[in-house]
Amino acid sequence: MSRKTWLITGASSGLGKALAEHVLAHGDNVVATASSTQATTELAARYPETALAVKLDVTDAEDRVAAVRATEERFGGIDILVNNAAIDFVGALEEQEESDYRRLFEVNFFGAVALTRVVLPGMRGRRSGTIVNVSSMDGLASLPANGYYSASKFALEGFTEALWQEIEPIGLHAMIIQPGSFRTGIENRTKVSGEAIADYADTAGAFRAMMSSLTPEMFPGDPERAAEAIHQAVNAPQPAHWVVLGSDAQRRIGVKLDQLRAAFEAGRELAFSTDFPGAAENAVL
């Protein structure tokens, strides 16, 4: 079996690093990218034949083009793109600074979208390739204090759902990964944004207060097991569109789906009442 080439963003830590390690251990090529290459260079040194460390700030257009070009020059093309790079800021929606939540969207959503658009022409030309967009359980079930992060992941999921409908007829695939809480050190990298507002003390404020007491033991997910699951999902004969990782994600997403179904069924009569009489049978979709 020929080696596949993976380009993984945010590969210097967390799930991205674990996935890069796992893929390399199984014999594929990896272009490990991050805004700083210290950790990825160390990884590439251990796999000199199959790994390449590339500096990539996903918000920088020149970096995106250069990373794809470097991958093509070294390995010939990208088989799997993993949009994993993400940042988070904690705070109520009213509290957070505009510069912070705009930066969050630039990394978590617009960066992933732009890199996907750079990679797609090569995949289309080969009629082969997979886009893996790492969302979160927050991409379907939002919480107070994390609203902008959730919104960026909701947007990424909507983008990916449209993407797979557009690209699968030409032989490509796209999937959403929805991880729960994994022991990736995320509690040390997540920053608070804005000044606390007393009226949110019991909602977003409670989450802010909890941040200082988080320990790795509070995160049930194992990054290495997640990497194995993603690797298997990508290589499945019929790749799934949604891949939920972690018992907490399975539970929390399940609660949200139950709530949606209940609200959907309860609103059926109201929904139908807003149509022109007899117009439903001529609906476009």
> What span, in angstroms and rounded, lies between the C-alpha atoms of 219 and 248?
9
Strand partners, 245: 179
Residue 151 backbone dihedrals phi, psi, to 5 degrees? -60, -40
In contact, 25 and 1? CB cutoff 8 Å: no
Candidates 17, 101, 153, 193; catalytic one: 153
Work out the widest C-alpha separation in the chain, in whole angstroms. Answer: 68
Which of 47, 101, 149, 200 is flagged as catalytic? 149
Question: 4 catalytic, yes or no?
Answer: no
d(CA 19, CA 8): 8
C-beta of residue 204 within 8 angstroms of C-beta of residue 144: yes
List the structure tokens of 21.
């390690």
The token pair at 219 is: 């995160």
Known active-site residue 200 = no
The question of whether 153 is a catalytic residue gets the answer yes
- Which entry of 12, 17, 101, 135 is annotated as an active-site residue? 135
Residue 36 sits at φ, ψ, to 5 deg, of -125, 135
Please enumerate in sequence order all residues whose Cβ is within 8 A of that of 33, keeping only pairs 6 or more positions apart, or say none: 7, 8, 9, 10, 11, 40, 53, 54, 55, 56, 67, 85
Supply φ then ψ for residue 223, to 5 degrees. Answer: -60, -35
Phi, psi at 281, each rounded to 5°: -70, -10
DSSP 94: T
Percent helix, percent strand, percent coil in the chain, to nearest 5: 55, 15, 30
**Residues labelled as active-site residues:** 135, 149, 153
